[in-house]
Structure 1
Amino acid sequence: MKKWLALSFFALNLMGCSNSNEMDGEKPPKVQIELANEAYETKLGTYCWSDNKVNTCVDMAGPVELLADKKPIEALPGEKLTIKMDYEPKPNEMYITQFNANEKNKETDIHLRNDQFTVPKEKGIYYYSYSVWWTDGEDATVSKGDALYAFVLKVN
């Protein structure tokens, strides 16, 4: 979470610096997760986005608070989860953090490989934040947008 906050603040400060803009839409694209051949929506949290007309930054609660009233997605231990974003250009940076509700929301950085990771083997409730950044191809310090997506799993 600390890494996300620092990068989000960094992106927020640089948002207006980009002259070329290839981002479409008023908000970041939707992201789904796929689990056992079923697709599930994620919840868009904090983001900064710039289309050709307007720069917008929205500050939201963290994943645990954002999903407080959301029913967890049922998952099996060790199952493969895929993150899907149908949008071009793809983000330049992607991070996923797991918050373990069984251990007072202990944070763990999760390794993504080909947009996939393995569901924990231990039963319980797990919250996730999927943080993405779009940066300028010529200057990585210039942000074109960033977003946090949240979802919650119940491992049975």
Structure 2
Amino acid sequence: MMPSIKFLRIIVVLSASLLFGCSDKSVDQAEFPPDKTAAVEVNGSDYSIEKGGYRWVRKKGLETETVTTDHASPNQMAEHLQPISVKSGQKVKVKIEDNPILNVFLWNQSGKEKEIKLEDDQITVPADKGTYIYEVLAEWKNGEISYTFVAEVQ
């Protein structure tokens, strides 16, 4: 008894699906580590902020892949960053892709000075004129990135 053509086609399709479906090529083609866009908004204009060190983790089957980088500190990075001009007491909105948890820190030439209160993803710059270095630590489920920007209060 000869199997039908329809039955043979089903066997061929199922066999091909099993062969290609079981290959050990990663199904996860997403960029790793991901590159998240980040900016601050001042008076309706966006200014990109400098990416510093980061850490990302992802599971691949039974393995865990981790990428960690070391980078210059925010006060060292500030030496080559163009300051963003702001007015005394002005609000600056932090905009980072995929809505991470944000923590903002004020830095001085010696190091991290203090954490800055963040409300609705905005900080308020000081009333006193001067140059201020900010680190924005963005945390997602699988990683974190440190960003730096410099504000020049006029």
Same fold (TM over 0.5): yes
Kept after mapping to 2: 8 A contact 1:28/1:147: no
Q: Is the 8 Å Cα contact of residues 100 and 125 (structure 1) preserved in structure 2?
A: no
TM-score normalized by the length of structure 1: 0.69
Aligned-pair distance for 1:67?
A: 2.4
Identify unmatched segments of 5+ residues in structure 2: 1-27
* TM-score, length of structure 2 as denominator length: 0.69
Question: Following the alignment from structure 2 to structure 1, what is the Cα–Cα distance between the partners of residues 70 and 137?
Answer: 14
The number of residues matched between the two structures is 122
SS of 1:56's equivalent in the other structure is strand
Q: Could you tell me whether the CA contact under 8 Å between 2:105 and 2:112 is conserved in 1?
A: no
2:85 and 2:153 in contact (8 A); partners too: yes
**Which residue in 2 is equivalent to 1:13?**
none
Deviating above 6 A after TM superposition, structure 1's stretches of 4 or more consecutive aligned residues are: none
Q: Secondary structure at the match of 2:145?
A: strand
Aligned equivalents of 1:100 and 1:108: distance in 2? 9
- Encode CA deviations 1:61-108: one digit per residue, 9 max, x unaligned: 111112211121111101111001232xx32x321001245xx66712
Q: Return the index of the structure with the highest Cα Rg.
A: 2
In the alignment, structure 1 segments of 5+ residues that lack a partner are 1-20, 136-143
> Where does residue 116 of structure 1 map in the other structure?
122
Alignment check: 8 A CA contact 2:75 2:108 kept: no
User: What is the identity percentage for the equivalent residue pairs of Structure 1 and Structure 2?
Assistant: 29
Instruction: Kindly indicate whether residue 31 of structure 2 is the aligned counterpart of residue 31 of structure 1.
Output: no
Aligned to 1:83: 94
Higher relative contact order (CA 8 A, sep 6+): 1
Question: Does residue 67 of the first structure (1) align with residue 78 of the second (2)?
Answer: yes
RMSD of aligned residue pairs (Cα, Å): 2.3
